[in-house]
Structure 1
């Protein structure tokens, strides 16, 4: 679902998951040729966590082996939301990965990122930041994206002379 608010020129996109209404946010906002994507994580189309981390007795992740799977699904969710604006991961110019375990994330990020972007060297700036907590206890990673779409004149097909 996408909504446009003409008053401020913003276009918003949503996955249609309950958290969007519960928390009150858009998955992405497009202004001009910029798309700002909210933190994405590994959820299905109903908002349920995919590959949740096992928790210990205190409710904290006890196992970080699901990092790669969570990361891959997170990139897929980002691609889905970008597509609502006619964009792909190729339009991403910057990403920030927020992770609970930097070592585990660093160990799998190269392979997962290359698979997600379908390139040996994804053409975007990338930040990997360790944090103590994310929105959901079973969540190991969240990724924020900034994308730039081509200007209108660049998207028009050029007619041969």
Structure 2
């Protein structure tokens, strides 16, 4: 059984994706930016963007019946790897005890120049 989770973003129907998808006990959360009600939050602050993103991811996981503790992998895309420590510290505030497998890479750009961070997450719900 497949469950598509929507955040209500107009981009989901335009691009053809879901914020998260649950199949069985696995949940995949799409690349998530610090966009709330169509506005970028934490402009210029990658740590604040990371916190906002992780809040969005948490809500998507909960809508799919998962928790942050179920996350087994995150992928973090940043536009300036020199600021990795700020992003890493904010990620650690949420995942410090959970410790999913994590990758952080620099990318040339994200969809909006105000976005400094984008994060994907994968979770396996224990049965």
Confirm or deny a common fold (TM above 0.5): yes
- Offset at residue 35 of structure 1 (A): 0.4
The equivalent position to 2:60 in structure 1, one of 64, 78, 81, is 81
Measured in 1, the distance between the counterparts of 2:112 and 2:105 equals: 17
Equivalent position of 2:106 in the other structure: 130
Equivalent position of 2:40 in the other structure: 49
The number of equivalent residue pairs is 127
Specify the structure having the higher radius of gyration (Cα).
Answer: 1
The equivalent position to 1:110 in structure 2, one of 88, 99, 103, is 88
Measured in 2, the distance between the counterparts of 1:23 and 1:136 equals: 15
Runs of 4+ in structure 1 over 6 Å off: none
| 2:48 corresponds to 1:69 | yes
Structure 1, unpaired ranges of 5+: 1-8, 54-65, 152-161
Q: With CA pairs under 8 Å and 6+ residues apart, which has the higher RCO, 1 or 2?
A: 2
Please, what is the CA RMSD of the aligned residues? 1.3
Normalised to the residue count of structure 2, the TM-score between the two structures is 0.92
Normalized per residue, which structure has more strand?
Answer: 2
Structure 2, unpaired ranges of 5+: none
2:78–2:107 Cα contact (<8 Å) kept: yes
